[in-house]
Structure 1
Amino acid sequence: MGDFDFAVIFNNLPFLFEGMKTTLLLTVAAIVGGIIIGTALAMIRLAKIPVLSWAAAAYVNFFRSLPLILVIFWLYFLVPLILGRPVGAFASVLVAFILFEAAYYSEIIRAGISSIRSGQVAAARAIGMTYSQTMRFVVLPQAFKAMIPVLLTQAIILFQDTSLVYVVGLKDFLVSAELIANRDQKLIEMFIFVAVVYFTICFAGSMLVSRLQRKLSR
């Protein structure tokens, strides 16, 4: 490690920070959008309306059967064609992540909703609540509390998957580090730094998930 050049890291921190902002923004936006659409898909599947339930199941199975990198590549070219005008790489990638993650969040949320005892649903319907009211006020608050550790685990996986945006040239944290490494011929320094940053964030997230699981189990 005597030849390890720390200066290349410190001198390029502003550029790396811009890349990390892109990574975090993409992660947070994809989590929010994925959970919203995933919740809707889960409720549709549980509502037992044949046509809608089949369509939601087909959506989930379709995206869960594809590699994320392929979805990113497809939508990077498909979104501009649908809109009839060019859009930025970030917008295309964000759409890909939201649609892809919604399928996984849907299954997590559906399992969480199914874990709520049917007696509570029956009691809510008996006092005159509609299906949407029962979900909003009775089922979802309890289900989401129980699902927090699993949702956070999926968020950690999503954060790691953002590195796949290199296929469309979006300058996230990893791509920014790669550009610096190739420019300054400091591949070892930059990729070790990237590995440390990813490990630190993901390990901290994993510890948080474990702590929440122990707290909820009590």
Structure 2
Amino acid sequence: MYEFDFSSIPGALPILGAGLLVTLKLTGVAIVVGIVWGTLLALARLSGNRLLGTMAAGYVNLFRAVPLVMVILWFYLIVPTLLKDWAGLGQGTDIRMASALVAFALFESAYYAEIIRAGVRSVPQGQVNAARALGMTYTQTMRLVVLPQALRNMLPLLLTQAIILFQDTSLVYVIGLADFFGAAYKVGDRDGRLVELLLFAGAVYFVLCFGASLLVRRLQKRIAV
């Protein structure tokens, strides 16, 4: 029978805390960049411009059809060369972190683009026509009339996607980046207590994600019309 021993966890908390900060950094950057870039992609698809719409649709379909772990590996192999050649980064730069940030931001923007596009379409077309009749440009109509209302409709979905993103950051272990899951795995492997550390990591993920999902449900009830 396997005997559980969780005594190594207290001493590993500083390492696990540092890994959790890496996970939160990846999540935060991917959310901000993903929403900004995803908004531009969604507006391009809704603009009526065939060229912009085709390019945006191709981008979204490409990233949604490829596994995330493959995207992480792609950018891990490509981004270091680009950063060193274009930005002149030194040898001390953590290329793994930079490549992971780029991969998650660009990958998540494809999903945020579809959420935002659905949110924009949820706004009645009559309001868009009224804004254009008042002389507003396409940009003004989106910024002042459509997007503020669409944000209310799509906010729960945006937050839910953020929770999924937080879980997906554990995939950076494939490039050796010490996020929370990677740190737990390395400490468990070092101390010979891999089962205990992975159980602890799973419990932390569950508590954080389940708590966040409860907050999303509560928010959804408060903003529901």
Instruction: Please indicate, yes or no, whether the TM-score normalized by the shorter chain is above 0.5.
Output: yes
1:171-207 alpha-carbon deviations (Å, 9 max, x no partner): 1001101111011101122111101000001101111
Alpha-carbon distance in structure 1 between the residues aligned to 2:195 and 2:107: 33
Residue pair 2:120, 2:150 contacting (<8 A) in 1 also: yes
Matches within 5 A, 1:74-113: 74-83=74-83, 84=85, 88-113=95-120
Greater Cα offset, 96-105 or 77-86: 77-86
Question: 3-state SS of the aligned residue for 1:138?
Answer: helix
TM-score under structure 2 normalisation? Answer: 0.93
Question: 3-state SS of the aligned residue for 1:7?
Answer: coil
Alpha-carbon distance in structure 2 between the residues aligned to 1:81 and 1:54: 29
Counterpart of 1:169 in structure 2: which amino acid? G
Alpha-carbon distance in structure 2 between the residues aligned to 1:7 and 1:133: 59
1:135-157 alpha-carbon deviations (Å, 9 max, x no partner): 11111111111111101111111
Counterpart of 1:12 in structure 2: which amino acid? A
Unaligned runs of 5+ in 2: none
Deviation for aligned residue 1:7: 2.6
Unaligned runs of 5+ in 1: none
Deviation for aligned residue 1:208: 1.4
Alpha-carbon distance in structure 1 between the residues aligned to 2:82 and 2:174: 21
Q: Which position in structure 2 is the counterpart of 1:15?
A: 15
C-alpha change, 1:188 and 1:80, in structure 2 (3 Å) is: closer
Alpha-carbon distance in structure 2 between the residues aligned to 1:169 and 1:34: 23
Counterpart of 2:82 in structure 1: which amino acid? I
Equivalences, count: 218
Residue pair 2:34, 2:109 contacting (<8 A) in 1 also: yes
Alpha-carbon distance in structure 2 between the residues aligned to 1:81 and 1:59: 22
Runs of 4+ in 1 over 6 A off after TM superposition: none
Alpha-carbon distance in structure 2 between the residues aligned to 1:11 and 1:29: 29
Question: 3-state SS of the aligned residue for 1:175?
Answer: helix
Aligned-CA RMSD value: 1.6
Matches within 5 A, 1:17-166: 17-83=17-83, 84=85, 88-166=95-173
Q: Percent identity among equivalent residues?
A: 55
Deviation for aligned residue 1:3: 4.8
Alpha-carbon distance in structure 2 between the residues aligned to 1:38 and 1:115: 17
TM-score under structure 1 normalisation? Answer: 0.96
Question: 3-state SS of the aligned residue for 2:69?
Answer: helix
